[in-house]
Amino acid sequence: MDVKQTLLELGYSNIKDSGDFYRTKPIYRDSDNETSLSVNKITGRFVDFGRNIKGSFEELVRLSLRVDKIEDAKEWLSDKTTHYTEAPKYEVKISEQKIFDENLLDKIEKDESYWVNRGVSVETLKEFNGGIVRSGKMKDRYVFPIFNSKNKIVGFSGRDLMNYKNSHRPKWKHIGSKSTWVYPAFLNSDTLLKNKKIIIVESIGDLLALWDANIKNVIVSFGLDISSQLLNFLLKIDPNEVILSFNNDEANNNAGNKAADKAFNKLNKYFDPKQIKIILPDKKDFGEMNKEEIINWQKKI
């Protein structure tokens, strides 16, 4: 089966090559996203990230032709010059997120002084249920439990409270598979769906600074890359704008600036370039900006 040729005959256009998949705009519903429909090049199976539906190529044909019965789609396919045969079924192995025991939260001491001294309000900090850990792998760190959409703990992210510049301790330490985290969607997924504008920042510290300025349409990348899980989340949200706000390292090694360019190019494969913007913090990061400076930065977007 020539999947691309069949898509063209159905009326699809602007079909983008994306590795093992074709990406295009669904013709059976209204959508401003030119890549929200993904179709496997070999099997023809599809995923519509905008509606969060998936199925066989026959089902996609049925939707595209706007017919009620799958038999009508099969008949249409059988009439095509490109011979259609049902794609083989493959067993897909899905790795589940590790779930951590909620009793681990008992080891977190509710001491907010570190972040309060950095200008973050106690009211904001309470929403994230973090605190200081005094022993173990996260010793002397302010630790945030990472919750998934079902409010299960899938990891921990800890900010070093020591003078990390004079030690070998990393500034942030993570426990769990951070590539599967979409944080803090457990708190703001409704806001993101309503706002349709998503700001992506490097760390929870940046998130707290924005949140405290009442900017809550934020997702943390936990580094300088857009993970597959985060990408899938963005495709499901189908935002009008994705704003990349990694650290502004212009005065140092430009790591955040280069990463923003790389992330822009990655997202450009799935979104219209007009949907993606790079708007870095006015200072090195949002944690170094006060609330008034952050509100002025917000006016740029």
- The enclosing domain of 111 has a CATH number of 3.90.980.10
Q: Are 238 and 26 in contact (CB under 8 A)?
A: no
Identify the domain boundary among 178, 194, 225.
Answer: 178
- Pairing assessment for the beta strands 131-133 and 141-147 based on DSSP bridges: antiparallel
HSE (side-chain half, CA atoms, 13 Å) at 40: 15
The confidence score (pLDDT) of residue 253 equals: 60
Domain membership flag for residue 54: yes
User: Where does the pLDDT of residue 128 fall: very low under 50, low under 70, confident under 90, or very high at 90 and above?
Assistant: very high
The reported pLDDT for the residue numbered 149 is: 87
What percent of the chain stands above pLDDT 70? 90
Pair 143, 205 in one domain: no
Of 178, 195, 229, which residue sits at a domain end? Answer: 178
pLDDT in tens, 108-125: 999 999 999 999 999 999
Q: Which residues contact 52 (CB under 8 A, 6 or more apart)?
A: 236
193 & 264 share domain? yes
Structural domain includes residue 275: yes
Between residues 207 and 89, the one the model is more confident about: 207
Express each pLDDT in 23-64 by its tens digit: 999 999 988 888 999 999 988 999 998 888 999 999 999 999
For residues 106 and 74, membership in a common domain is answered with no
Whether residues 190 and 301 share a domain: the answer is yes
pLDDT confidence of residue 269: 82
pLDDT at 271: 83
Between the alpha carbon of residue 141 and those of residues 85, 208, 263, the distances in Å are: 57, 16, 29
Q: In terms of pLDDT, which residue wins out, 255 or 222?
A: 222
pLDDT at 81 over 80: no
Number of domains within the chain: 3
Q: Which tokens in the block code for residue 12?
A: 């699809």
Is 86 within a domain?
no
Say how far apart CA 297 and CA 215 lie, in whole Å: 11
Whether residue 17 lies inside any domain: the answer is yes
223 in the same domain as 263: yes
DSSP one-letter code for 269: T
CB 216 within 8 Å of CB 156: no
Residue 263 vs residues 15, 73, 197, 244, 258: alpha-carbon distances, Å:
22, 39, 16, 8, 9
Which of 160, 178, 196 is the C-terminal boundary of a domain?
Answer: 178
The confidence score (pLDDT) of residue 273 equals 82
Please give the pLDDT value at position 13.
87
* Pair (200, 292) in one structural domain: yes
Which residues share a beta bridge with 17?
A: 22
Range of the domain at 106: 97-178
Q: What is the pLDDT of residues 136-188, one digit of tens each?
A: 999 999 999 999 988 999 999 999 998 655 567 789 999 999 999 999 999 99
Do 119 and 290 touch, CB atoms closer than 8 A? yes
Residues 240 and 270 in one domain: yes
The percentage of the chain sitting over the pLDDT mark of 90, rounded to a whole number, equals: 64
Task: Tell whether 152 and 230 lie within a shared domain.
Answer: no
pLDDT of residue 31: 86
* Cβ-Cβ contacts under 8 Å for 148 (sequence gap 6 or more): 97, 154, 182, 186
Mean pLDDT of 257-271: 87
CATH no. for residue 268? Answer: 3.40.1360.10
- Whether 103 and 190 map to the same domain: the answer is no
133's enclosing H/E stretch is strand 131-133
114 part of a folded domain: yes
Does residue 214 sit within a domain? yes
Do residues 200 and 145 both lie within one domain? Answer: no
* pLDDT on residue 203: 96
Both 301 and 187 in one domain: the answer is yes
Q: Which residue has the higher pLDDT, 156 or 19?
A: 156
User: Parallel, antiparallel, or unpaired: how do β-strands 21-24 and 16-18 relate?
Assistant: antiparallel
Within a domain: 91? no
Query: Does the pTM exceed 0.85?
Result: no
Place 92 in a pLDDT band, splitting at 50, 70 and 90: very low
Confidence at residue 129, expressed as pLDDT on a 0 to 100 scale: 96
Same domain, 280 and 202: yes
Q: Judge whether 92 lies within some domain.
A: no
